[in-house]
Amino acid sequence: MNRTTLSLIAGTTALAAVTAVAALATPSASGAGTSGAAARLPVQRTGLLCPAPSVSDIADTTYTSFTPVTEGTPSSGKGQLQPAPEESADGTGGTQEGKGKGKGKGGKTTAGQPVLTPKAPGTPVTGDTSGADGPALIGTADGRFAPGWTVQETTSIAAGTGRGLQGVTCTPADTEFWFPGASTADSRTDYVHLTNPDDSAAVVDVELYGKNGAIKSPLGENLTVKPHTSEPILLSTLTGERQDDLTVHVSVRSGRVGAAVQALDDKAGGDWLAAAADPAGSLVLPGIPKDATDVRLIAFTPGDADADLKIRLASPDGLITPAGNETLHVKSGMTTSADLGPLTRGEAGSLVLTPTDQSVPVVAALRVVRGKGADQETAFIPATAPVGARATAADNSAKGTTLALTAPTATVTVKVTASAGSGGGAAVTKTYTIKSGTTQDVDAPVPSGLDGTYALTVEPLSGSPVYASRTLASTDPVGFTIQTLPSDRGLVSVPRTDEDLSILQR
């Protein structure tokens, strides 16, 4: 074959490639803008990981799956959550493959069978399991089910360690996680759950940082999480030190995992501690309950410099400085905590942390207690990213749901949509204005004719950042759980291209 023929073939191939790229970015695509501008398009595939819900024989767990309706999605697609085998605590490879009994639309939690299968965007689907054998779940969704897919895991425990209400939003796999607020105190039983969704093993380090810095824990190094399995690691087995406040750092050497900390207290209930937002100089921790009886701030800076933070409470009337807790000094590499007491005093509130001078990246979380004595219950609020374009919280009820919205820097207008119910009902939308520097517990909409539970979708209508969290409360047993609402990652920016035949001459 001569050079002329080869050049002709190469030129034709290049032209076809350019034309194909241009066809993918035609002006008719959803979210398309002017030439050269990035288009906001729905994601095509989403993966989520849910940790094993409980070790209690009297635990009752509900999974709720929801995908908001998104313009520009294909008409086809599917989604499902399947059990992940659980490695034995001694790492010998023994597995436990979902012995819980499923109820409702989700099916059964038996090995190889989906626990939940979404039916249609805009309507939640629920499934239940009971006892201590509920497995971790590995979920995938594509097509019309992928953009903004949200799964909530909510567990009710009537008595014993960690009793009350525990909730966690299932998350994508990643390679690094920070958990300020964990503990190895005698009253606490804290596990870090690691779930590997991939076909190859993941190698993970679990590092602990206490009030005096890094804690030697060789047993936390080079942990192997086998493909498609989940492993709960009891933090007290990694160190002999007993500390009230720890920061846990999960770092993945190879592969990727999902990670969450289950924090259980002998007397004060317990909850899931979700990963905090990436280290940053300024942080927002939204949605402290009005009736919180005790609030504890835990912070850590992973860099080489100390951090000095200004502490302010975003109340319904604006930013205020808590008396006696105006600032917090966080030493490099050491976990620092501050007791803020009954901070909110009957009003909605969010904590806003900003540098007093030099900006130093910090991670932080709040341990929040409601009730007194034998009626105490605990939940956690990690620092979180803003809502972004859209965020979703599933498993809401007509009573017992509180939506908190915070606008730390500028007044924002926010649209909140209540989906149809899992058993019936019609979607309802309301719009709210949150003034600069304030937090509002909004009167969240409820679907008309609601049957079952529903999802709340939050969409800012202005450019300034807004932060959100959702609190679920129960009376039997008495308990509550808080989930922050960062972006649901339903839309992604895709650079636009145009035909440029000049590349054929280069």
DSSP string computed for 31-82: T--STTSPEEEE-SEEEEEE----S-TTEEEEEEEE----TT--S-EEEEEE
- SS3 readout for 179-225: EEEECCCCCEEEEEEEECCCCCCEEEEEEEEECCEEECCHHHCCEEE
In angstroms, rounded to a whole number, what is the distance separating the alpha carbons of residues 15 and 5? 15
What's the token pair of residue 235?
A: 């933090």
**How many angstroms separate the most distant Cα atoms in the chain?**
88
Give the amino acid at 457: T
pLDDT for position 374: 82
Q: What is the pLDDT along the chain (506 residues), one digit of tens a residue?
A: 443 443 433 333 333 333 333 333 333 333 334 445 567 899 999 999 999 999 999 999 999 999 999 999 999 999 999 999 866 544 433 333 333 333 333 344 444 578 889 989 999 999 999 999 899 999 999 999 999 999 999 999 999 999 999 999 999 999 999 999 999 999 999 999 999 999 999 999 999 999 999 999 999 999 999 999 999 999 999 999 999 999 999 999 999 999 999 999 999 999 999 999 999 999 999 999 999 999 999 999 999 999 999 999 999 999 999 999 999 999 999 999 999 999 999 999 999 999 999 999 999 999 999 998 888 999 999 999 999 999 999 999 999 999 999 999 999 999 999 999 999 999 999 999 999 999 999 999 999 999 999 999 999 998 899 999 999 999 888 899 999 999 998 888 777 666 666 666 66
Q: Are 368 and 378 in contact (CB under 8 A)?
A: yes
* Closest-CA residue to 188 (of 268, 274, 90, 296): 268
pLDDT for position 203: 98
pLDDT for position 497: 65
Entry pTM? 0.87
DSSP string computed for 438-453: EEEEE-----EEEES-
Q: Are 275 and 382 in contact (CB under 8 A)?
A: yes
Q: Are 442 and 405 in contact (CB under 8 A)?
A: yes
pLDDT for position 503: 63
In angstroms, rounded to a whole number, what is the distance separating the alpha carbons of residues 333 and 211? 9
pLDDT for position 481: 98
pLDDT for position 36: 54
Where is 96: in which H helix or E strand?
A: none
Where is 172: in which H helix or E strand?
A: none
In angstroms, rounded to a whole number, what is the distance separating the alpha carbons of residues 351 and 285? 5
Verify cis geometry, omega within 30 degrees of 0, for the bond prior to 227: no
* Closest-CA residue to 214 (of 362, 338, 365, 335): 335
* Closest-CA residue to 380 (of 240, 219, 247): 247
